[in-house]
Structure 1
Amino acid sequence: MSRRDRQRVENPLGNTRFSAKAYLYLLPAFAVLGVFVFYPIVKTLRMGFYESYVYLTDTGKGLGLASFAYVLKDPAFRLALRNTLIIVAVGVPITIVLALGSALFINSLRKGRGVFQTIYFLPYVTSTIAIGLVFRWLFHSDYGYINYFLSFLGVAPQKWLTAPNLTIVSVTIFTVWNGLAFKIVLFLAGLQKIDPQYYQAARIDGTPPHRVFFRITMPLLSSTFWMVVIISVIHAFKTYNEVYSLFGGNGAGPGNSAITVVYYIYDMFFNRSQVHYASAAAIIFLVIVLALTAIQKWVSRRLVHYV
């Protein structure tokens, strides 16, 4: 068999770089990405560098960094960035711990595992807005169940949705609960991929449970664990629906106290019609996310073990 014939057997389509048929199959995906991803990014980059922009006529005046300077000096954007970082720094670790603990509990069950999986996953397929209405009732200052249970501990009723120092706490709690279901499913998938023989050998050796967890489960779960971390960080940075559903779009809480970066972009674009400022904020937000993604990739190369 000649060299050319062997290449055809190994790759029937030939060299895909010059294969028109392969690109024809990829064309619909490229079209969707071009229309809904690349074009909006290019459009946002262009609008962000205008000093003033009219969206209806698609006309702008002046090119420069004035919009970026305004956004970076805007107290509302700084508050939104601080609130977003609070949700990431506080909500993500809590979500991961709760999701991992729940997954370990479900995975240890011999009976009823499917029932618990269904119960835990139901919130994920429920509308965030609908869940937000429930949480607005739970956080109600006078009739909410959270204050009702806190009263048994001798804690005075809290104004979760009106006190400026508690609104971001309410959003963080809602964000943690809302993102819990999907992460439990991911951890369960990772746990079920671990070969049971590792645990059988550990039981034969009489290894304590905590050592089994840190020496067997976590190393073999590291790839799944890191994926959940990345998803959790992205979900926390994209917090918007939780804010909107809790406060109904009314300025993201009293005095904008619960505003996040994504909500700031929405508010600047749709409510204030300051498209160039919204675009500049979106670009700054993109740079922050890309920087965090690069850091996460660097860390994953050193800490994550793929088996």
Structure 2
Amino acid sequence: MNRAEAMMQEEALGWVIRTRDPDFVDWEAFTLWLEGDPARAAAYDALMAADADLDAIIPSSPAALPAALPIAANDPGEPRHRTWRWVGGGAIAAALVATISLSMMNRADIYTITTRPGETQTIALDDGTRIDVNGGTTLRLDHNNTRFAALDSGEAAFTVRHDAADPFRVTVGDAVFEDAGTVFNIVYTGRATRIGVSEGKVIYNPQAEAISLPAGRALADDGDGLRVMDVAPAAVASWRQGRLVYANAAVADISQDIARSLGIALTTTPGARAMRFTGTIRLDKDPARFFAGAAPLMGLSAIRTGDGWVLKEGNGPQS
């Protein structure tokens, strides 16, 4: 599959996700997209036909079948009913992406980069893009498409060579980030996604919310919902310079960053997890030395356990 075909498949997936939403109303834009290239209808129909595979992912439900979809301008004939069990837009997107991701992992041209906690790696792609991979990360790339990446877990910083005709896209869970001449950093834990932009611009889910994130902006998608906020450009991917920079960040997130960068097992007490911190923490590969300085700075104490460390509230002695 060449780049153009891969891009069309990704666009088709975006439209499948959107048109399966019972609240979808933008049929005019969908029809214009279909009419732009005869191959798009075939790509869209092929993904829609994945219902049988998706049934194995999505639990059965007695919900009634949805109403017939409108007929696209280049799709003659009677309206077609889709035997889809509606379970909500988020679950639909996740299931579709899971199906596509599983098939992609079986392709010979897809390869995986994995780093152990505390280990970093730099990848130079043929198109001039550089990816800095932090510890405890799994990233998928494509030998035949250097404009694609999928962050399955962990953290990575992307310095992208911009090409307006062939944008670089990163799939993160059921979301897509598209560059617009950009340096950005993404953290993905499975339950939460964080992205900060230090140069250029990133578009979050260009086929759906299409949220523009210019330099100095960040986005978080977690248990508190989807939020956009300011971020100091110098703080984005600061782990590459041996420091972690935060502005009113939750200690729950900070502890994950520390564990990933130092390669240690780190837990937090409920009281510590709820605290927030603003400031700069210097990384040190020696955990005892690191926590001796970092824990009091955050108003915490660090306790060594048999297989790792625990952060707790209060400036008690480090041990």
For normalisation by structure 2, the TM-score amounts to: 0.25
Determine which structure has greater relative contact order: mean sequence separation of CA pairs < 8 Å that are 6+ residues apart, divided by chain length: 1
Q: Find the structure with the greater CA-based Rg.
A: 1
Q: Quick check: which one's helix share is greater?
A: 1
